[in-house]
Amino acid sequence: MKPYSVNPCIRKDKLLKNGNYPIYIWVRVMGEEIRVPTGYEIEESLWDNKAKLPKKNPLRTVIGNIKSDLETLLLTEQGMGGDLSLQLVRDYFGGKKKIKPENGSFYDYYLEFVDDKKKSGKDDDTIRIYNNTYAMLKEFAPKLRICDVNLKFIEKFDAFLRNEKNNQDGGRENKHKNIRAVILDMIRHDINIKNPYASDKFKMPKAKIRETYLELNELVAMRNLLPQFEAFSPRRMSMQMFLLACYTGLRISDILDLKWSHIDWENQRINKKQVKTKDSVTIIIEPWAKAILLEFSNSKKNIGTDKPVFENPVTSNTVNLHLKEFAKMAGIKKTISCHVARHTFVTLQILAGTDVLTIKALAGHSKITSTMVYFNDSKKLVDDHAKKSQLFKSKND
């Protein structure tokens, strides 16, 4: 049994003139207790007796943070062999005892970090991954101080993801990258924490390179399904969004964000800032891509406007569901998702002999290493090269 407990409560013996009750923190330490005012008040009907917190935010979060901070202080003092007493609690509320940043809640900092990312315009998919990482961390360690995030913790968390949550290398890699980004931000803000990822002792899991892309004949087979779908129906829209991504290399987030103002119709170019990276990219509109754009141009009336290319579009999840159906219809025995379109674009460019710098520009990669991943990816590229290469061969061989 813990030598202390911390529980918010309302003082029903201190009814205020406005009908509200003051919120206190009821603390028991080593058999003694004290109730400390928080400075907040609440209607009785808005108090959750079971959770011992306000029912609604933002007050629920505020009171929850007061409780969490005090528990962190007591836990830290206990761990360091300090003296647990009511005086410690009085000093804390009196401002004499402060929690060192590294003894604060890792989760509070994490959520503030993600909120800042969201406000800065980070794309929804990135925020979703950060939130998923947060959920996994909370499941693994319901309470977590900043100073608890060390090499041993990271190794145990990785084992939890791998063995209990069945996360593959790619999923684990993303979660570790999220945690590392938060830790690096803490270090930038002078919080005393060591970066466990800076050590060679932890081997960061790496996603296996996705080899799934559509051969040109498979892409044609998908395109040939179009007559089966009614104009502007959800299935036809899913197919055309996917095909446009195949023809341009745009991510599905950019397809959903695509506006007619991004399109230079006279020069047959798409010029836009990528949702994920915020980097600008210029893309050539090839004939097949042009046909899709014309289909959704409202007889060219939308060209030059700020309207979205795909008005009332289906979601990326819906596209992925439809793609499974389309693959079966086309006789393609591959697992196809939205990202396969971008992989298809780059890989077919490689097979067509497009040079790496041009592909880097077309794909909107900020680093050449991102493009080179695709060159290292496909076994077929190596096989094709082996058949065509005359290097290091003489006529007599």
**With helix as H, strand as E and coil as C, how does 81-148 read?**
CCCCCHHHHHHHHCCCCCCCHHHCEHHHHHHHHHHHHHHCCCCHHHHHHHHHHHHHHHHHCCCCEHHH
pLDDT the model gives residue 98: 62
Q: What is the 3-state secondary structure (H, E, C) of 161-205?
A: HHHHCCCCHHHHHHHHHHHHHHHHHHHHCCCCCCCHHHCCCCCCC
DSSP string, 279-310: -EEEEE--HHHHHHHHHTSTTTTTTTSSSBSS
> How many contiguous H segments (helices) and E segments (strands) does the chain have?
15, 8
pLDDT the model gives residue 211: 62
pLDDT the model gives residue 178: 95
pLDDT the model gives residue 290: 95
Which fold does the domain 216-387 belong to in CATH?
hpI Integrase; Chain A (1.10.443)
Pick the CATH number of 106-198 from 3.30.70.260, 1.20.120.420, 1.10.150.130, 1.10.150.120: 1.10.150.130
Nearest CA among 252, 239, 248 for reference residue 330: 239
pLDDT the model gives residue 212: 82
pLDDT the model gives residue 113: 94
pLDDT the model gives residue 222: 95
Burial class (CB in 10 A: 0-12, 13-18, 19+), 62: middle
Domain boundaries, the chain: 4-98, 106-198, 216-387
Kindly report, residue by residue over 113-135, the tens digit of the pLDDT.
999 988 888 877 788 899 999 99
pLDDT the model gives residue 210: 54
pLDDT the model gives residue 102: 82
Q: What are phi and psi of 326, to 5 degrees?
A: -65, -40
pLDDT the model gives residue 95: 73
pLDDT the model gives residue 94: 82
CA distance 121 to 126: 10
Ranges of residues in the chain with a pLDDT under 70 are 1, 96-99, 207-211, 375-397
Tokens of 272: 């836009």
Kindly report, residue by residue over 208-246, the tens digit of the pLDDT.
655 688 999 999 999 999 999 999 999 999 999 999 999
